[in-house]
Amino acid sequence: MFPVLLLFLLSPTATLTVMAQDSDFSTDQQKNNIGTKFIVAFPENIAYYHPILPFNSIEVTTLYDQTKVQIKTHNQLFWLETLTAGETRNVFIDVSLELKKTNMSNEAVVVLSNKDIVVNAITLKDNSVQTALVIPTDKLSTRYLIPPLPNITGATVDTSLAVTERRPFKLVIISGDRPTTVSVVGQNPQEFSLQPQQVAQILVKKEDKLKEVHTDHPVAVLLSHACVLRSSCTCGLLQSTLLPAKNHTLRFFIPPALASRTSNTLILVSSSLLVDYDPTSPVLETSGAAILYRPGLLLNLIPETDFASCFVVNGISLMENSIVIVIHKDFTDGVRIGDAPLQSPGWQKLQGTNYMSTEVVVEPGKHVVWHTYANMAVYFLGSKSDVPYGNPAAAISTSPDFRGCVVIPEVLLIGDVAAGWRESVKFCRDRDLELVSLSSSENITHIYSEIEKAKNGSEEDVWIGLRRSSHNGEWYWLNGEDVGGVNWDDGEPGTMNDGQCAIMSLKSGKDFGWRDDDCCMAARPVCYRRPLLFPL
């Protein structure tokens, strides 16, 4: 299977999106793990030579309520469900869809949803486990660099085409929604065509010196071996996604928890370099992607530019599961797993850097790892019978927020045009916002501080979402919450004859005091939308 894992993009650490009046209301930086359409393939797994069948599965995690998910092949729909926000389902895939030795096949599996989801692919056979994130089809690429391979007996040296476990590594190339022309560049180049959602398998033979994959339409590219030889005459599946080629320099921080304690750990750099991991120098700067290799594991490393603020990790039953975190030394206090800070985290300094790392053992099941005010890198690492597996954790958000894991960040907008209260309500609703409600359940200090930033020196009065009922004269918030924790100026509010709507002062020294006023008075609106948080 191993789909593609895409990189997360770093966003500013601000907790709130402050919008100009006519700004594009994009809610977050691009989250490369999240989408509505995915395509997956499961390469052949002959681990341990056992006659038992492998268990291949697709794990879906939803971000929103009323998410309708379907999983299908090119000619059959075999799973359809409506899920709630934060729900995770594991769907087993028929073993007939596992790729065999054929060069071309139609055994791809498509995952579709009406709202954004995260998809993991898992394969298990005896003690051989491999996990990966799947890239949404709209974030696939047309260019991938093929990394150098470590010297592995039976996989890169002493290979044989006659015996499966002695065959070379292979590239698995999965086309998207269009007919696609593929060029594999090297000393012995190859060119071929793929139909939509078709899969090609290309042997990575040493003498071919394959360097890059180029296509005219986006594809997913996996690097896989059906059964890499291990000790005691056993073998296990080994694979990784290849990440889209990048031409700029990236910086990778490599935590010691990812490295092997008993054998050499290598970094496969897509610029054709093999680098020995050195814990005294845990920083790598290079263009393109970097993959960590240790026996049993190929793991894409997360560059500093792709740190994020919230991740979801799903631990696997009956196995050892852990979370590895990398973060700047000044921000370690803000890490949360679920609704709790880390307990006795045991931070380790990455030598020669300002970064720290830790490994936290977790139980099977879903874990939300998030930060209250900064971005970080998070990996999922596991093992079965001391054989490792893992992948970068799925990034849900790049917008830190002290209240939790943000799916959609909050938005604050101060309108440029002064108008009456009713017109201000319409102005906000036309932008999918509401006049701000400062009810007792809101963090009023936080909202005031964001208004202070957004007012840009203005000291004009502004409308808020509080007014009197025309039926009984009682004050109410537009969001329906109880009126409590009010901030009326001295002598306010007056009688019903004094004013029906609440206005707030932005004048210095007024501490955002409120008063009642004529609803037809002209003032600018403060529009707001709360953040949507992922269930912890």
pTM: 0.89
CA 413 – CA 454 distance, rounded (Å)? 8
Percentage of the chain beyond pLDDT 70 is 93
User: What value does the mean pLDDT take over residues 279-303?
Assistant: 92
CA 526 – CA 264 distance, rounded (Å)? 58
pLDDT at 463 over 60: yes
Please check whether residue 480 lies inside any domain of the structure. Answer: yes
Higher-confidence position of 277 and 232: 277
Q: Would you state the pLDDT for residue 441?
A: 65
Mean pLDDT across the chain: 89
Asked if 306 and 359 sit in the same domain, the reply is: yes
Which of 152-161, 275-284, 342-351 bottoms out in mean pLDDT, i.e. has the lowest? 152-161
Please check whether residue 353 lies inside any domain of the structure. Answer: yes
| Residue 360 near residue 382, CB atoms below 8 Å | no
Please check whether residue 404 lies inside any domain of the structure. Answer: no
The CATH number of whichever domain residue 433 belongs to comes to 3.10.100.10
Please check whether residue 114 lies inside any domain of the structure. Answer: yes
Please check whether residue 9 lies inside any domain of the structure. Answer: no
- Give residues with Cβ within 8 angstroms of 260, minimum separation 6: 294, 295, 388
Asked if 414 and 393 sit in the same domain, the reply is: no
Asked if 431 and 290 sit in the same domain, the reply is: no
pLDDT at 29 over 80: no
Asked if 139 and 59 sit in the same domain, the reply is: yes
Q: Single out the residue in 397, 423, 451 at which a domain terminates.
A: 397
Q: Which residue, 1, 69, 2, 66, is CA-closest to 35?
A: 69
For residue 423, what is the DSSP state? H
Please check whether residue 2 lies inside any domain of the structure. Answer: no
CA 12 – CA 317 distance, rounded (Å)? 36
The residue count of the chain comes to 536
Asked if 507 and 385 sit in the same domain, the reply is: no
User: What value does the mean pLDDT take over residues 285-297?
Assistant: 91
Q: Would you state the pLDDT for residue 17?
A: 42
Q: Would you state the pLDDT for residue 36?
A: 97
Q: Single out the residue in 337, 371, 397 at which a domain terminates.
A: 397
Which of 166-175, 491-500, 522-531 bottoms out in mean pLDDT, i.e. has the lowest? 491-500
Asked if 420 and 508 sit in the same domain, the reply is: yes
Please check whether residue 1 lies inside any domain of the structure. Answer: no
pLDDT in tens, 401-415: 999 999 999 999 999
Q: Would you state the pLDDT for residue 442?
A: 65
SS3 at position 313: strand
pLDDT at 109 over 80: yes
- Domain extent, residue 423, equals 409-533
Amino acid at residue number 82: T
Asked if 452 and 340 sit in the same domain, the reply is: no
pLDDT in tens, 205-264: 989 999 999 999 999 999 999 999 877 778 899 999 999 988 888 999 999 999 988 888
Verify cis geometry, omega within 30 degrees of 0, for the bond prior to 493.
yes
Q: Exposed/middle/buried for 318, CB within 10 Å: 0-12, 13-18, 19+?
A: exposed
Higher-confidence position of 4 and 500: 500
pLDDT at 158 over 80: yes
Asked if 153 and 236 sit in the same domain, the reply is: yes
Q: Which residue, 494, 414, 424, is CA-closest to 460?
A: 414
Domain count, the chain: 2
Q: Which residue, 86, 108, 81, 82, is CA-closest to 97?
A: 108
Q: Single out the residue in 342, 364, 397 at which a domain terminates.
A: 397
pLDDT at 451 over 60: yes
pLDDT at 321 over 90: yes
H or E element that contains 366: strand 365-371
Please check whether residue 105 lies inside any domain of the structure. Answer: yes
**Which residue is it, tokens 């019978």?**
385
Asked if 199 and 159 sit in the same domain, the reply is: yes
Asked if 116 and 253 sit in the same domain, the reply is: yes
Asked if 180 and 128 sit in the same domain, the reply is: yes
CA 158 – CA 170 distance, rounded (Å)? 15
Which of 58-67, 96-105, 169-178 bottoms out in mean pLDDT, i.e. has the lowest? 96-105
pLDDT at 509 over 80: no
pLDDT in tens, 351-372: 999 999 999 999 999 999 999 9
User: What value does the mean pLDDT take over residues 372-384?
Assistant: 96
User: What is the band of 169 on the pLDDT scale with cuts at 50, 70, 90?
Assistant: very high
User: What is the band of 472 on the pLDDT scale with cuts at 50, 70, 90?
Assistant: confident
Q: Would you state the pLDDT for residue 180?
A: 97
Q: Would you state the pLDDT for residue 52?
A: 84
Asked if 220 and 320 sit in the same domain, the reply is: yes
pLDDT at 18 over 50: no
